[in-house]
Amino acid sequence: MKSPDPAAARLHLRAVAIALVLVAVFFGAALQRMRRLERKYVRDVAAENYRVKDLGIIWQRESFAQPDILPIYGSSELTKRAPNKATEFFESYPSGFAVSPVGRPSCTSLILLERLGAGAAKARGRKVAICVSPVWFLAKGANGLGFAGNFSPMQASELFFNAPLSLGLKHDIAGQLLRYPQVFSKSWLLAATAEWLASDRLGDRVLYFAAMPLGWLQNAVYRLQDHFEIARSMRGDHKLRHLIPRKSETLDWDRLMAAAAPLVRPLPQEVFDSRFRYFADDAGFLEAMDRSYEWGDFELLLRVVRELGLDPLLLSMPIEYAHYERMGISPQAIDAYDLRLRAFADRYQVSVVDFADSGGDPQFFADHFGHPSAKGWIFFDRALDDFYHGQSIREDEPAALGKNGRSKIPRAAPLNSD
């Protein structure tokens, strides 16, 4: 048998090494170029609703890194077409900043905390706006399909293995995520990690820490994938070829509010819709709200915001009084939502704007699903502008235009910490 030639073997190894170095150099150069492009264009595409931004990490982190971009997290209100929507209203940087949306239909608190835990890990001290909707807290139960459609394995991995959150908070988040075990079906590592984190057994905690190197490797692969997905989406983005020029101007909110009124369409006639939840009386309404999963998820969201050291503004659509009063629900029962929302916000020292005065104004709503109209969006826009510039946030309609809403409910006392 002919013995192997050592010189030939060394030659093959050298060729393999050179090939690996060339591949590494190629990918390194490509990655650096992608990062430069991301930083270059992040301001130009800030207002866009991108799937790769919603489910990824890089675009969100780049948005937080820019001082003239205000990230806003929410749900379908960020994607539904409407005049004066914040993303379009601030697209030309009229008062020095743009709004960057992260959110899709059926996003609720548990999805938003996943987004923030992954995307805002290095954003301590940065401002962020978070939109919540009363209908989240009145849903019939956990929305498995909606959650699965918005769940991001990339963000979950970043949350589990990299986010600067306490082990106790990760434990509580994992327990809530396991309500939807189907979302972990494509990743044994994420499935196992969720189980280990949710467990109170010491052995499971040891397994979690032992799996950290695998998690870091998985995160590195996910981030590389995210960079390439962004590069691919930018190639097909027509906005990069038709950029909207910046236009600084003084925002006259009274004039903008008056101009929005003619753009408001009458609310559609109410007919039975299976997407609504109907209540027979106050007791049923209050029981549904009290038993909602969403309050627990919402508290976790506030805990994430606080542990990340963000400067948050919580924005909530008001409840449409007329819609629920036609079911026989009293104003006092409807106001329980605002009281409880403010109580949670007070506990975690989070600023909240709920536009409670506008719940009785039909012009504030675009539909019965809690989406703002052209007029409603002006209220949101003004609150975001005040928040970004560090001013006292205004919620009320200008006195010159008259008031169509109800008197503001009293501010709630903080919840007990028990």
Nearest to 229 by CA among 34, 80, 392: 34
Residue type, 176: Q
- The residue length of the chain stands at 418
Element housing 27 (H / E): helix 6-41
Q: How many CB atoms lie within 10 A of CB 205?
A: 15
Taking CA 151 as the corner, what is the angle to CA 150 and CA 154, rounded to the nearest 5 degrees?
125
Question: What was the pLDDT predicted at 369?
Answer: 80
Helix (H, G, I), strand (E, B) or coil at 355: coil
Strand order across the beta sheet in which 69-74 lies: 98-103, 69-74, 127-132, 311-316, 351-353
Show the tokens assigned to 223: 């981030």
Extract the residue ranges of the chain whose pLDDT is less than 70: 1-5, 7-17, 19-44, 141-142, 236-243, 270-276, 397-418
Classify residue 386 as exposed, middle or buried by CB count within 10 Å of its CB (0-12, 13-18, 19+). Answer: middle
**Per DSSP, what are the bridge partners of residue 103?**
74
Query: What's phi and psi for 262, nearest 5 deg?
Result: -65, -15
**Residue carrying the six token digits 């992954």:** 118
Taking CA 78 as the corner, what is the angle to CA 138 and CA 147, rounded to the nearest 5 degrees?
50
3-state DSSP percent of the chain in helix, strand and coil, to 5: 55, 5, 40
Q: How far is CA 29 from CA 23, 162, 234, 333, in A?
A: 10, 25, 18, 60
Question: What was the pLDDT predicted at 161?
Answer: 96
CA dihedral sign of residues 100, 106, 109, 113: negative
**Per DSSP, what are the bridge partners of residue 312?**
128
CA–CA distance, 186 with 97 (Å, rounded to integer): 39
Show the tokens assigned to 325: 């009063």
**Per DSSP, what are the bridge partners of residue 132?**
316
Give the distance from CA 261 to its chain's centroid: 29
Q: Catalogue the E-assigned strands of 284-341.
A: 311-316
Show the tokens assigned to 289: 């709200």
Q: How many CB atoms lie within 10 A of CB 59?
A: 26
